[in-house]
A and B are shown apart, each in its own frame.
Chain A
Amino acid sequence: MAGMKDAQRVTDAAVREVAGPADGIALFGDLPRTARFELEPARRFIDHAAQEYRKCLDSRDADGVPSHLPRASGLLFGQFDGNEITISDIEFVPNVRDSDESVMAEFEGTIAPRFGDVYRNPGRGFWSDEKGVLQAIKDRFTSGLELMGSIHSHPNWHEIGPPHERYQKLSEHPTLMDEYLFRQSCWPVNVIWYVHENSRGMAHRVAGWRPGTDECDRLDIRIPSAICEAFNVESLPGV
C-alpha cells in the first residue's frame, strides 16, 4: 500500500510539473536528420497513393468535381544505425478516422475546434487503427524492425477538389494539424507525399518532417533514384 501511495505521489508530481504542452527540448533530443527508403516500401506506397489518386480522378462528375477524396497512409518500419534511419518495410493498417468512436470524438472535441471546421468532415485526416499498429509492431519486433513513423499523401485538392474547398492549398508540407499530431506522437519520421499533375502526368513531391521544439523541422528523405525516375518523384532535401 505504501508503495502504491509513493507511486501515486510520483505520478501526481510528474503530472503537476506539466505546466504547458509536452514540447520540452529533451523530448526531441537528437532525432535523426536523415531517413533513407529502400526500394520496396517506396514502391508499395507509390502504388497505393497512385491508385487512390486515379480513383479520385475517375470519380469526377460532369463538372469535373470528384466524389472520392484520395487518401493513402502507411506505417514505416526500419532501423536506426546511429547516423540515419533506413526504412525497409511498410504496413497498411485501416484508417479508423471515420469509424472509431473515440477518434471521431477527438476530432470533434479537440482537433476541429483548434484547427477548423474542415476537420468535422470525416474524410479529412487519418488515424491508424491502434490494434493494427500494435500488431504490426509485434510482428516485426523479433526481426529488429521498429516503427519509425508514418507516411501519408496530400492530393492537390486545391486544384481538383470541389470548388468550395479549393482555397485549401496542400503540398508536401505539413498542415498545422499535421504538425500538432506529429509533435504529440513524437515519431521521428513523418513523411508527406504530395500527389499532383504536371505536364508529364501524375507527379509526386516528397518531404519528411521530424518534431521539433517549436515546430516540425525538415527531415532529409532519400527515395531510391529508380523510383524517382520511374514515377516522376521529386524528393526535397532536408535543411
Chain B
Amino acid sequence: MPDVSHSVSKSLPAPVVTIKLPTAFNALTGGQKQVDVEGDSIREVLSGLERSFPGVLERLMDQKGSVKRYVNVYRNDSDIRGLEGLETKVENQDVIWIVPAVAGGSGTTGAQESR
C-alpha cells in the first residue's frame, strides 16, 4: 500500500486555534476578547490575527521580527520562547494567550513637575 500520509496531511485544513486577547488590545480589537484563527504555527495564527485586526503585530513584534520582551505569547500553558518561538506548531483547539508584561517601578523622577 503506498504511503499517502504526506498528501493526506497536506489536504487537511489548517488547525483552528482560539486566541485570547488582553484588554491592552481593546483599542485595536474593538473590545473583542477572543478570536478563532486558522494556522499551522504561531507565526501563521498571528498573521491571521493581523488580518482581522490590523496593527496588532505592531504591538507584538519588534523591528527584528521577534516577539517583544514586553509581550508574552503562550500556547496553552507554555511560553513560546521556551518552545520554537514563532515557528511553534499549533494543534486544533489550542488556546493562544497574549499577555503583556505587568511591570513598573520607582527610581527616578519623571515628568510630574510639568503636570
Interface residues of A (CB under 8 A from B): 3-4, 6-8, 10-12, 14-15, 17-18, 22, 24, 26-31, 71, 73, 75, 80, 97, 102, 106, 110, 115-116, 118-119, 124-128, 130-131, 133-134, 137-138, 141, 146-150, 152, 154-155, 157, 168-171, 173-179, 181-182, 184-188, 190, 192, 215, 218
Chain A residues with CB under 8 Å of B108's CB are: 115-116, 118, 168, 175-177
A185 touches B24 (CB 8 A): yes
Chain B residues with CB under 8 Å of A110's CB are: 69
Chain B residues with CB under 8 Å of A30's CB are: 27
Which of B31, B47, B62, B102 is within 8 Å of A128, CB to CB?
Answer: B102
Chain A residues with CB under 8 Å of B68's CB are: 22, 184
Closest residue of chain A to B66 (Cβ to Cβ) is A15
With an 8 A cutoff between CB atoms, is B104 at the interface?
yes
Mask for B38-69, Cβ within 8 A of A = 1, else 0?
01110110111011000101110111110011
Chain A residues with CB under 8 Å of B104's CB are: 73, 125-126, 150, 152, 174, 177-178, 181-182, 190, 192
Tally inter-chain residue pairs, CB-CB below 8 A.
206
A31 touches B27 (CB 8 A): yes
B101 touches A128 (CB 8 A): yes
Q: A15-B57, A15-B65 are in contact. Are A179 and B22 (CB under 8 A)?
A: no
With an 8 A cutoff between CB atoms, is B28 at the interface?
yes
CB distance from A16 to the nearest CB of B (A): 8
A14 touches B50 (CB 8 A): yes
B106 touches A157 (CB 8 A): yes
A14 touches B106 (CB 8 A): no
